[in-house]
A and B are shown apart, each in its own frame.
Chain A
């Protein structure tokens, strides 16, 4: 099994794109783009997959975990411009929301920045036609051997983890996930599927977050304080579809509980659509929402108004939530520019920021920013960081590993140094090997494939009936013939194997002579051997036949005097090859000699 990382899935939180080869099948996991670049580097290098030749021939399927652009942004480029006609799998909500985001992104790049050589609206539509939507826990048979199954991942609406299985080898790819439920979504859950490899994100590899209620309280306190002193608060929303969380908190507490008069705005357009989708996919939300949905729609915020560009210049305190979260473009950047100069104002960064974005710069303490057109923007406003991002923290990652019990773990989507720390933890804690490949690096994992063998029920029953009571969970020795025929394995009884192969049966008998020093007569020696064996082999039927020979099950033992030395008796032990185990045991037993003193 090999896992390849196209460009930047590995030790970077930029774009995700992983290629997995499992038992001869090639699956591409996610097809993301990098938000920090505006040139060719934003898309993964697909030519890397097949040096020449068609992608469709090489890839068996593409799986998209959720609709964030760093996980699906390159999809139209990949399928339409590079050319891929195979199936693309995603969940229903992802399929519904993904094209909207892509279209939005396309608008920004093409219509606003005027770039050419970008995918068109039609390409997005064509691309979506190749998508196959899956349900949670539905096992989809991609082809005869390859099957995939989606698990709930939290994170955003429709986010899923995928299990990819070929034969008995399996991989679980988590995408982005969240182990603690937030205001809308539940916690990620996976059953104890024991995959050979778990590919997990590790954005917060070294973070253990406070309880979510503490964070909410902190957030509100900060907002409250700023508004009290007359400042404006900007909350860039990381992704429009997980902005619901912040909107909900602010609505729930800020307006209804704290009774502040400052207006709250959020950027229009997409959020309304987002609400629409939350209502549509209510089963994908958490228990709270499902329970209270009938009485009270959590997505109707009566105190929160739509934002208009002109409002940014209004005097007095206000709270504005706008996209995108990393302040790299769009409305949030415009507002930021207007407000950055005033020290009364505050910006709350609610999530992770990719390197190269304005958000990342101000978070890392840069106070002077170079904007487009060589403008220098001095940032005087307060910059706060508040982790609302719906990723699993270190404890969550460990929890997922514990749930799934993988044999190997592969960390992606994180920063190298932090991943190194988590890697040590995982190896020490679970004693499984853990990998953290760099971009473009290929990791090969050896698996112990198990080979299924068919056995007829009759044979199975017969074999289990022999010998002591079968002890559960312990390997048991069975006799049978392994038939390899037409690419299948079958365990059949020897007779049947002979019959099928048209062979005659040959008897194979082992005989062994054991010399024993015993001056007594043959008959007496026989009796002594009998008593000895009878004393030791309590579970077996040991018989003394009238002709002086002894049988243990089907093994025959005869005592004869040595032709030369009367004091030495020769014990002839004879057994068929089926009784090899018992036979060799008996000989070794007899070789030790008879106990002295027994009559």
Chain B
């Protein structure tokens, strides 16, 4: 055996050498290394002590193994496995076997028999467990092989009787992952072990070791996830597990019960100790509610979370969760235990609100009271006042989900949710505000509730305040006092936190438009108009006054009688605000005035079409007239670019699209300009100026292409090809320019080769798109490729030049949705004249608050740049936690930037801006290249595509006045 193995190893060795000869052209250096298996074999043979062998194995595990030598390595490992006496070494070997089986592209069925054989003589439990793990890996690698899986399951079943919990654990895990899911397969297999996986696993629900019990439940859940329909019989078993001593068992059991309640919601289960029956989902609901007051908070969180997704539960059960006092056993309520219920509500149990109401009454029907078994009773009351905020958050989430599906429940839970607004932990407050917003369609706030809600506006956390504004946008208020209260509190908020301005205005806009009739009686008071006297005209720049006006104007939109109450200056202010804050102030039908905007409002929807049409028409025009004379093309492009840019400004929905196309056309324009000059005919040094023009054009095109690729969300692969193509053209241009300006041929060799490599990689990346690119630059280039490879740099340049000129202009297909990533720095505002003073050498924290739109993966890409007056630039990576995601496509960056500098004599401004970092490796194109898992194979990739990193500024810079003072000694 050993001799045979060694032979194999050396065979591999020679094979490798041969390959090297064959593949001389592609420089796959890695293949010259000696095979891993050989090295390992030698190492293991050298090892004298188990510790040594372990060291070798550990070292070996650090390096990846190629697919083709995996099998050889496995054989060597197995050989050593049998020879090895030390359990720890065997353990490591077993784990290595599993690791190796995971190798992509390797099919482990050839080593399965050997792996199973190793189990037979193994005495160490740890090693056995590890071997089981390995088998699990092997099994998961062979999904389409039921017979192999059956065999593995059989092996696992055999080892289920092992005395070590670790082995049993792994066996159950294996059965759960690999056990047959379809009934049919199980029948075919005549082996008795795999007859009924569910039964086998179910037997281990009563194992003596809690870890095994947990593993059994988990395996059952795994089977469920894989599509096996669990039997209802398990339900009673699972219920018993809820009383287990160990929290992980209980936690898993809660999950299992939840799964079963979703599978068999309508089946009927008996209630123990009575002859009545109940729906399974109700029973399960009661049981899970019960677990909300479990001793372990892990279980409580789990239970509270799952409650939210049990929507089939009966409504009277649901409502019980909010009432702790009603103690009658609900399950028997159906059989008219009304008397019992009366007893409880009439105060057999004291509520603790009135003294003496718990004085014992004469007659107590104790038989009907069931303190603990009452299940659903007050589960949410308990959950919401839990000590751990994790539980409270889970309870709030569950409330939210249940309230969304049941309006009556939403009404009832409102009080509880409002109370949660006063929680001590910010996350809980935030979560409950969000929850309230989600269910706001179903509810109307009472005044006292509103009071509590509005009190939160004083919170110092901006997140909470903004969430509350969002909430107020969509809440219904019942009275005019409520509206007034809300307005007063919002104005208070505005004076306390002026930065909330935008958010408050927006909030008032919705508040007004939702409650026009409630606002109407408040108008005179709000505008402080008087029937006889003229009141002074309020200051138009006052944010509070604007806030009031926003509320009134939005209410006036659907309340035509309101404008009659306005005074003259209100109309003037309306006109002003309609212009300056058009997104907040709606068009109004004002008496005695021309309806400026009434013509626009009905035609808002069709207006999109003409602009889109316009966009497409102008693009058509450009594409069609490309055979015009160069001058004409240039002019046409210039006009179109101008048009598009204007269009983008006017139509915000099309801004992304228009900008994108404009940028593309701009690139094309630059390219044409750079090419059509006559400078190419003359010796370059004479035309330095023009030369500069061409090279800057190339540079600019490169930049623009990166912007196009990374700054827009919704760019599809069709566009990416075009962008890359444009980039290739720019690179060609660069090459030509450099070839013209540099003397000597030496540097050109490298450049040419690099360029050709890029063409090559382009071809590989976009092979499927090539047919669409007839007559383009790259198309022609690929035709000439064989010639290019063999010719000298000067010839290459010449060819490139002619192809560039002759190549056609590619159409840029437009995707459905295209959005440009934008960022807006809200804070610092850049308006302050007071410099931020700090001692030089120390740091000062600058709060940065910005909104980001349409940025994918902001955590990875958005950076903050600080530019000091001395030209020093600092790049700051915000923490991932600094990004919030208030809505789809929107992000919010709230972070602190630390500034520091040496002392200045007077204050000066620094610039803060946001950058979008990109890395061409991450680009959409490179994901197409199948990446090998082992790092070594990466060497084969062309280096040119790697590591082009850069940043695109995408926000307006904001200036901050700072003043580092010299430190006093």
Stretch at the interface among B233-241, B383-391, B834-842: B383-391
A206 and B458 in contact (CB under 8 A), knowing A213-B416, A215-B352, A421-B366? no
Q: Does B381 contact A (CB under 8 A)?
A: yes
A420: which B residues are within 8 A, CB to CB? 360
Interface locus among A390-398, A520-528, A576-584: A390-398
Judged by a CB distance under 8 angstroms, whether A544 is at the interface is no
B208 and A418: CB pair below 8 A?
Answer: no
Which of B352, B358, B372, B385 contacts A418 (CB under 8 A)?
Answer: B358
Residues of B within 8 A of A289 (CB): 424
Which residues of B sit under 8 angstroms from A215, Cβ to Cβ? Answer: 352-353
Q: Which of B71-79, B144-152, B343-351, B519-527 is the interface stretch?
A: B343-351
| Contact of A598 with B by CB under 8 A | no
Nearest neighbor of B208 in chain A, beta-carbon distance: A472
Binary flags per residue of A193-209, CB closer than 8 Å to B gives 1, else 0: 00000000000101111
Q: How far is the CA of A291 from the CA of B327 in the complex (A)?
A: 35
The docked-state distance in angstroms from the alpha carbon of A291 to that of B392 is: 15
> In the complex, what residues of A have CB within 8 A of residue B416's CB?
211, 213
- What distance in Å separates the Cβ of A67 from its nearest Cβ neighbour in chain B? 22
Q: Contact at A363–B206, with CB atoms within 8 Å?
A: no
Find residues 370-402 in chain B having any chain A CB closer than 8 Å to their own CB: 370-373, 378, 381-382, 384-389
Minimum CB–CB distance from A166 to chain B (whole Å) comes to 23
Residues of A365-384 contacting chain B, CB below 8 A = 365, 383
Return the contact of A181 from the options B349, B351, B385 (Cβ within 8 A). Answer: B385
Q: Do residues B355 and A385 form an inter-chain contact, with CB atoms below 8 A?
A: yes
Q: Which residue of B lies closest to A252 (CB)?
A: B422
Q: Which residue among A189, A204, A287, A394 has the maximum number of chain B CB atoms within 10 Å of its CB?
A: A287
In the complex the two chains form, is A207's CB within 8 Å of B389's CB? no
**Cβ B424 vs Cβ A429 within 8 A:** no
Query: In whole angstroms, how far apart are the Cα atoms of A418 and B378 in the complex?
Result: 22
Across the interface, which residues of A come within 8 angstroms of B388, CB to CB? Answer: 287
Tell me whether B385 and A393 are in contact (CB under 8 A).
Answer: no
Contact yes or no, B372 A181, CB < 8 A: no
How far apart sit A543 and B166, CA to CA, in the bound complex (Å)? Answer: 38
Q: Is the CB of A209 within 8 A of B351?
A: yes
Residues of chain B within 8 A of A256, CB atoms compared: 455, 458
Chain B hits for A237, CB < 8 A = none
> Which residues A294-350 have CB closer than 8 A to chain B?
298, 349
Interface range, A side: 35 or more
Measured between beta carbons, the chain A residues less than 8 angstroms from B353 are: 210, 215, 218, 385-387
**In the complex, A425 has a CB within 8 A of chain B:** yes
State whether the Cβ of B899 lies closer than 8 Å to any Cβ in chain A. Answer: no
Q: A218–B422 Cα gap in the complex (Å)?
A: 15
Bound-complex Cα distance A291 to B425 (A): 8
Known: A253-B422, A288-B424, A291-B389. A204 touches B208 (CB 8 A): no
Say how far A335's CB is from chain B's closest CB, in angstroms.
20
Judge whether A206 and B348 touch: CB under 8 Å: yes
**Contact, CB under 8 Å: A469 / B161:** yes
Q: How large is the interface on B (under 10, 10 to 19, 20 to 34, 35 or more residues)?
A: 35 or more
Candidates A210, A257, A291, A402; contact of B352 at CB < 8 Å: A210
A287 touches B389 (CB 8 A): yes
For A298, the chain B residues whose CB sits under 8 A away are 424
Does B419 lie at the interface of the complex (its beta carbon under 8 Å from any beta carbon of A)? Answer: yes
Of B348, B354, B367, B385, the contact of A385 (CB 8 Å cutoff): B354
Binary contact readout B742-784 vs A (1 if CB under 8 angstroms, 0 otherwise): 0000000000000000000000000000000000000000000
Known: A209-B352, A387-B353, A418-B360. A186 touches B387 (CB 8 A): yes
In the complex, are the beta carbons of A210 and B351 less than 8 A apart? Answer: yes
Q: Given the complex of chains A and B, what is the CA–CA distance between A385 and B367 in angstroms?
A: 30
Chain B stretch 173-229: residues in CB contact (< 8 A) with chain A: 206-208
Within 8 A of A (CB), among B430-463: 452, 455, 458
A208–B366 touching, CB < 8 Å: no
With beta carbons under 8 angstroms apart, the residue of A180, A421, A472 that contacts B360 is A421
Task: Report B865-895 CB contacts with A as 1/0, cut-off 8 Å.
Answer: 0000000000000000000000000000000
- A204 and B352 form a contact (CB under 8 A): yes
How distant is the Cα of A599 from the Cα of B208 in the complex, in angstroms? 46
Q: Report if A273 contacts B (CB, 8 A).
A: no
Are the C-beta atoms of A286 and B387 separated by less than 8 Å? yes
Complex Cα distance, B373 from A191, in Å, reads: 20
What is the CA–CA distance of A212 and B367 in the complex, to the nearest angstrom? 28
The reply to whether B358 and A206 contact each other, CB–CB distance below 8 Å, is yes
A214 to B418, CA, bound (A): 11
With A191-B295, A214-B419, A473-B208 known, 5 other A-B pairs at CB within 8 A are A192-B295, A211-B324, A215-B352, A288-B424, A398-B371
Interface on B for A, CB 8 Å cutoff? 161, 206-208, 245, 293, 295, 324-325, 327, 348-356, 358, 360, 364, 366-367, 369-373, 378, 381-382, 384-389, 416, 419, 422, 424-425, 452, 455, 458
25 pairs, A vs B, C-beta closer than 8 Å? A190-B295, A191-B295, A192-B245, A204-B350, A206-B358, A208-B327, A208-B352, A211-B324, A211-B385, A213-B416, A218-B353, A257-B422, A257-B452, A288-B387, A291-B389, A291-B425, A364-B356, A385-B356, A386-B353, A420-B360, A428-B366, A428-B367, A429-B370, A429-B373, A473-B208
